[in-house]
Homo-oligomer: A and B are copies of this chain.
Amino acid sequence: MASDTSEAASSTPDLKLQFAPFSSALEAGFWHQLTQKKLNDYRLDESPKSIKGYYYNGDPLGLPTRLTLEFSAFEVDGPTPARCCLATGTLYNTNTLDAFKTTDKKALLEKEAKEIWDAIQSGAALKDPSILCKFILLTFADLKKYHFYYWFCFPALCFPEGIKIIQQPSSLEQVFSAKQITALQEAYAVLCVKRGTTAEPYFLMKYTADTVHMASLEDWDTFITDTKTVTVGVYDPCTLSQHPGWPLRNLLVLLASRWGSTLDTVEVLCFRDQTLQGSRSIQHSVIFQIKLPVIPLNSACPKSVGWEKNPKGAMGPRMVNLSECMDPKRLAESSVDLNLKLMRWRLVPSLDLDKVVSTKCLLLGAGTLGCNVARTLMGWGVRRITFVDNAKISYSNPVRQPLYEFEDCLGGGKAKATAAVDRLTKIFPGVIAEGYNMSIPMPGHPVDFSEATLSQAQKDVELLEKLISEHDVIFLLMDTRESRWLPTVIAASKRKLVVNSALGFDTFVVMRHGLKKPPVSQSVSAGADSSTSCSSASSSSTTPAGSAPSVPASSLFSNIPGHKLGCYFCNDVVAPGDSTRDRTLDQQCTVSRPGLAMIAGALAVELMVSILQHSEGGYAVASSSDDRMNEPPTSLGLVPHQIRGFLSRFDNVLPASMAFDKCTACSPIQLHIVV
């Protein structure tokens, strides 16, 4: 068993006292909590942090003397586990491995040792003896790999010449009678109650053949009447029969410094509550006598030791790789949040990630656009993603629709909506994805009037309404104009934020639909509804949804508030018809440059996030191209109405247009008919 060889170097081992050093025991929960602290609180802050650990004296024989840090280490004021002693510590978490390596360990130790010394000199250590059992933890957390580098230090002030043993350690049962042992046990319990702790680290003791009395260190002057032989007790985590554990060291320095000149022999009781041969008792405690050297009060701080050796026995840091032993799914979850949280550390401190992550997104269309939108949502940490699509995966899809693979095309092709869900789960098991293999009812595509078909169409409409109700943001990502109509109408009536994207060959549009304000008469119920809507509804405008704008629609205006913005159909003079009928092949599928859908899909999500970060959400005034020079309305930038992109010119413009009061999809007349 390792012992403190620095003490042993200049003396005969059997005459000088040796201490069993602490082994640091850092549980996975500690590292998990450190990860959270680093991501959410510390971020780039490298200043020292107070943490705590504890030690226990009930271990069976053979276990090393451990100082344990678990998830609770960061709650310094939190409770200490039963029958454990608190150890207070200082965490130095560096931002880089390099800083970790180059930190001046000697200086850290000396600083901490000086504090202990000062507390001994001032008497503060008498009032709070846990100061005598401090530690330093130097860490670097590589949160990308879940590699944690660390180095522990348990500062101990030294006696340059060591401590002479007068009477070798014996088991308590060899020295004390059963009656004395019982009395000792009771006295300790009384002391703990008196001190309000479950385990008192140090105590003073007097005993006779029948009685045992205990007092805390601060009661020295009244309690110790005979200084010829003073008995002190230490709550000892060590299990070795011939050695005390580390906590005794600084206590002995305290005694030597404060009362050394008056002391002749010091008797030490290593109070242990071990389990031996199946029975638990303090009879296995160890008792011995020493002769303490004198350390003059107000002398310089003694030399100190304490950096822990690594498992190879050398002075050096340790590394724990938790990527393998942590639950992979939980690992994935926290890893996914990492990049997002990193954004806030330095770049966008005001970013409200929860607002993004908790947004429930409904993707109508799981094709080229739908796949790219879903992937970008995953990148933003969005957990609730629902797909609606009635198509099957064909052989041409996987190279352009990044949720599908060749195998999904076999046997006629899997349904896109459900295959997309499977893929999201494979990418990130923490996602909550759903898929509905259904078609979106379209005007101009008459159903045949058989009862079964009519009933199915009705069911489809009802399900679509339900889905739109249950989500916060509705993405329109279909490949036909008219399939966007019904969702536009329903989402407008339910005041849901709609983000719409459509592709040409090398052009695209990404737009938000105007977000209608609740009618004044319904403001109470609408208020209740707003918790599920994407807008924080703090706009002061009171224009009811029904008020027709007095200016012509479809023109470019600046400063259009969100509730007056147009929808996809506002610029149209014709109602949506059947655009798939009689389309040639290059019209049937969206023939577009392959990069276009990735760009439009990414922008659709980025637009959504920018809107969510705006204090007025979907009611935010639309930014236009002209606003590019001005102060942006959110920390993420502009919140345009439309982004129209031209790949051939690598250019985007940001038009904004007013809602058309006779729009076939979003006008109050239309909504009145439909709702």
Contacts and interface: CB of A to CB of B under 8 A. Distances in A.
A589 B144 contact: yes
A336 B625 CA distance: 37
A395 B328 contact: yes
Contacts of A409: 328, 331-332
Contact of A595 (B379, B428, B584): B379
Interface stretch (A50-58, A213-221, A296-304, A337-345): A337-345
A505 interface: yes
A549 to B, nearest CB: 25
B394 A406 contact: no
A599 B510 CA distance: 14
B506 A99 contact: no
A96 B583 contact: yes
A426 B411 contact: no
A339 B400 contact: yes
A589 B338 CA distance: 10
Nearest to A380: B594
Interface residues of A, number: 93
A37 interface: no
B402 A336 contact: no
A108 to B, nearest CB: 19
Nearest to A504: B347
Given A343-B591, A346-B586, A406-B429, A98 B394 contact: no
A595 B606 contact: yes
A370 to B, nearest CB: 14
A461 interface: no
A648 interface: yes
A581 interface: yes
Interface in A321-335: 323-324, 328-329, 331-332, 334-335
A343 B595 CA distance: 14
B399 A336 contact: yes
The 8 closest A-B pairs by CB, nearest first: A637-B648, A379-B594, A595-B602, A335-B395, A335-B396, A95-B584, A598-B602, A595-B606
9 contacts: A323-B395, A343-B591, A345-B586, A348-B505, A372-B598, A375-B402, A378-B400, A506-B637, A593-B636
